Every structure is written in structure tokens, then in C-alpha cells.
Structure 1
Amino acid sequence: MEAESIPSLTPLIQAADQWGELLLLLPLLVALEAVLSADNAIALAAISRQLRDPRQQGQALNFGLGLALVFRLLLIAVARWVLDFWPLQLLASAYLLWLCISNLLPSGDPAAEAEADQALEPGSAHHDRSLLAVVGTLALTDLAFSLDSVAAAVAVSDNLLLVMAGGVIGVVALRLTSALFIRWLSVFRHLETAGYLAVGLVGVRLLIRLAAPNLVPPEWVLLALVGMLFVWGFSSRFPSPDTSELTP
């Protein structure tokens, strides 16, 4: 007689199967969220860095990612319907491409570019945007990125609570890594550009998925490209300030 045929043991066996799935798949979902959110973290760090006050940067990340977590959980709850809704994917793709292009193309105003370059220099004090605007941009950016990560998570498991748990842990990890990237952006000169290029890659991938699903490159291709961008992003530091002029 098999254990499954004993009615009194059936709930225990089902519970064991659920816990086994949790222990096996939760670390996989967390790792998947961490890998797919690497480019997201650097984009969120660059957006938060528009607030030059470190305290406001932390507040923006807390409020923005708190709002993003609500959006992500709602997206997971309705994933079966939303992920096949092509207008949402088109809007997410257009937003990510706009975010990439608007931050990489020169504005055409030399004075504005000089001011922006000065604002990005380590130690400069510059307040460019309001806290509320940055919070909204953070939440919207994470929502656009979530279409890709949620689709991958739902493909791994159809357990709604399990996928939500992975999403919560992923947002917490995103908060920690974004704060770390804020510091690195003041050290490495190409890192912000690399991050926005990675944002553009995700936008292009979403667009290809809509226009020609058969031509969508495998996930590892995107990860390899993002990895190469990060290697380039960490390849050069800002010049150290010349302290010789400060000596009497």
C-alpha cells in the first residue's frame, strides 16, 4: 500500500511536498530576481542620485521601492492576464527606451551639459528634482522591469505565494544593491552609462518579444551583454581630486 492511499496521511504528504517545493524553488526565485534586477538596481541608483542629499536618496529608495513592491505583487497576482496584454508590454518597452535615450543623448545645451557634469562629480551639491518626482520615477521604472522578472518567475513556479515571496525578497535585495550602486556611481565614470545601456537592452528585448517572438534571444544572451556592460562600467574611475593645490 502506498502512503498516498492512506487518507489520514494525505494532508501531511501534500504539506511535505509544498515545503519541499518552497525550500527548492525559493532560493532559485531569489537568485533569479537578483540576476535579472542587476541592471534595474543601477538604473534606480542613477535616478535616486538626482537627489544630491544622501538622506533624501535613502527616502526616495524606501518610498519608491515600497510603492514598487505593491505594484509588483499586484502584477504577480494578475500575471496570467497582464503578461499577455501587449499594450502594457509596449508601454513598458517604450518607457525603458525613453529612459535610456533621454539620459544618454546630449541635451544640445552646453551650459546645461556642463551643469549636469558638475552635478555628477563626487562631492558636488545639486538638487535637480523633487523627492516626489524621484519616488514616482523609481516605482514606474521597477514596474517596467518587473514584466521581465515576473514572467521568468511565473515560468519557474505556478505557486502564487511562492512567487510573491521571491518578489518581496527580490525588492529587499534591490533596495540594498541600489544603495551600494549610488556609492559606486561616484567612483566609476562609465557605470551610469553602462546602466542606462542595460536599460535600453531590456526595452529592446521587450519590443522584440512583441514584434517577433521567434527572434527573442535567450535569457543568457541578455545576461552576457549586461555582464559585459558592467565590466566596462567598472573599468575606469573618476580622477582623484588633486590635493596638491590645497597644501600651503
Structure 2
Amino acid sequence: MNLDARINALTDALRQRATIPCALLGRMARSSECCSRGLAATIEEFQTCRACPEGQRLAASAPLWGYSKPLPALVVYTPPQAATVRQAKPASRPAPKARPVALPEPTCRKCGCTETRACPGGCWWVEPDLCSACAPKTSKAKAPRAKRQAKPAPVVEPVITTAPVQAPEAQLADPRLVKLASALRELTADGRMRVSMLDLMRAVGAANYDEAAGLVIHAGLRTSQLSGPVQTVLVDHTARQLMASAASEVRQ
């Protein structure tokens, strides 16, 4: 049978069908409407009527005309989905607390004394597992004693030595200054007397050369330590005094 004959036969069968009740559409669809709209529209409308609860109730109670039982609803085949099984997570438990580990207490291998229970009279550890009471006499160690503090080193005071006063003759070129310096050195052998420079300048300013010379002699000053003008005046005056004394000695 060709396609046209099949379509005509199907159309005749649809014309002979009764109306299709549908509560969802709110009206009665006739076979003429189904034929005019085509086979696809009829199947879609029929499937819609079967899908609604009211259409299912009417189809089950009032079968279509010309059929002894209602037409089966069109069921679209859908492959079953694979069931996914999720494993239940174990209940979270608190981490176990670390228990304190008791370290073994050191014990003597002979008498059994420990850190908290010593031998009568007291003892100390000579070895990790041997106390001083059980150790032989040759290997007994003395009890620890406090270290003695070292005595402080004696403080040695530095000895200050004074260098001998050099003769001023090597520093003077004028023979008169050499003679004056030697005379002053002989008169002041200790070399520790000092005089105020103000008194010396006052005596020189007043032209009292005898007083100035006496101050220099008693002070033990060197001629090189005096200023230029004072040095010249005192050298000349001292030279005259020395020459006069020498002349008087010759006369006598």
C-alpha cells in the first residue's frame, strides 16, 4: 500500500471517531477538527487531554465511541537515569588528646634508690644507674662544691719616675747664657721651686734686676723658659754681677 492510500485510510478512520472530551481545553474536540488540523495536531491534543487529571478521569469512565476501551496515552520513552549513591560522611570526632608519657625515673642498679628516695645519709649519681653509696671507693666522686671565687689581682700602681733635668748648656749658644744657667742650676739643685710670672714681670718692669734674678734663682727656672726681653735683661744683669764679683775676688 502506497503512502496516499494509507493517509486516506487513516483519515476515514479519524472521521468515524467520536468526539474527544478534554477538561483542560474546556470544549469537545470533534473528529472533523482533528482531520482538518492533521494527524500531528490531533495526537498532540489527545496527549494533552490524557495528561490532565480531568481527561484521565473521563477517558477511564466514558470510553470513546467505536472502541471497547479508551485509547492508551502516548508515552515518550526516556532512558532511566543512573542512580547516584553518595557515601555518608563519618561523623567528625574530636582528635584524641595526647596523654602525658611518664618517663622512667633513674634508679640505682644495686640498691634501687631514686631521685625522690635516696640512700640513708644521702647519695649522688656517680653513673646514670649507680649511686655514690654503691660505687666502689676507687670510683667515688666527691660531692659538687661551690666554686671559690678567684681573688682579685693586686692593683699595681704605676711608679712615676722623673727624668733628670738635662743641663741647659746644650740648649744655649751664648757663653754668657751658659754661665748663667750653670750658676742657676748650682744654686737650685733641687729644681722644684717655682715663682709667679707676675712677680717676675713686676720686678723686670721696675728695673729691679737684682730682685728678678733672685726670683729666677729661687724658682729654679731655665733661661730658655723666659720670654725674649726678660731673658736678655736678666742675662746682661747677671753677667755684670758675675764679672763684678769675679773682679773683687781677684783684687782680694
- TM-score, normalised relative to structure 2: 0.20
For CA contacts below 8 A with separation 6 or more, give which structure has more relative contact order.
1
Structure number with the higher strand fraction is 2
- TM-score, normalised relative to structure 1: 0.20
